[in-house]
Homo-oligomer: A and B are copies of this chain.
Amino acid sequence: MLNNAEISELLKKARLRPTRQRIFVASLLFGSEHIHVSAESLHHKIKQLGQKIALATVYNCLHHFHKAGLLKKVNAVNDVIMFDTNLSYHHHFLNVDTGELTDIDEATVSIAELPKLPDGFETESMELTIRVKPQS
């Protein structure tokens, strides 16, 4: 629920030119509930809303937003890269049928022990994915 001026401001702070396309994409991503999108899913949503932005631009946009720290890249699912507006450290349910991701409330998971890393390595990120499917 941010207005265009606010979105422009947000983009400028991230050192991204507030272009027509970026403003529209950002309006779909930020300022409301956290969501998970792929380039394709976002492109579909844009078309549904009667706008026309090239698919390549959506890819560019998502990657730029990610580099700028506005989006988190989530483990690919079914060969599709998902981006997450929830930047905090958290885990996911993954619907294996649809590929849909749902955040897991971090308070409900606790990892008690962790193994030591291989020598000379450091952790980049850590994610628990619980793959779920409709009860059979």
Interfacial chain B residues near A113, Cβ < 8 Å: 108-110
A121 to chain B: which residues have CB within 8 Å? 93, 95, 132-135
Choose the segment among A6-14, A39-47, A59-67, A123-131 that binds chain B (4+ C-beta atoms closer than 8 Å). Answer: A123-131
Cross-chain contact A131 with B135 (CB below 8 angstroms): no
Q: How far is the CB of A129 from chain B (nearest CB, A)?
A: 6
Copies assembled: 2
Residue A88 lies at the interface, judged by CB distance under 8 Å to chain B: no
* Contact of A76 with B by CB under 8 A: yes
Question: Is A114 part of the contact surface with B, judged by Cβ < 8 Å?
Answer: yes
* A110/B109 in contact, CB under 8 A: no
On whether the beta carbons of B108 and A110 are closer than 8 Å, the reply is no
Chain B residue with the shortest CB-CB distance to A95: B121
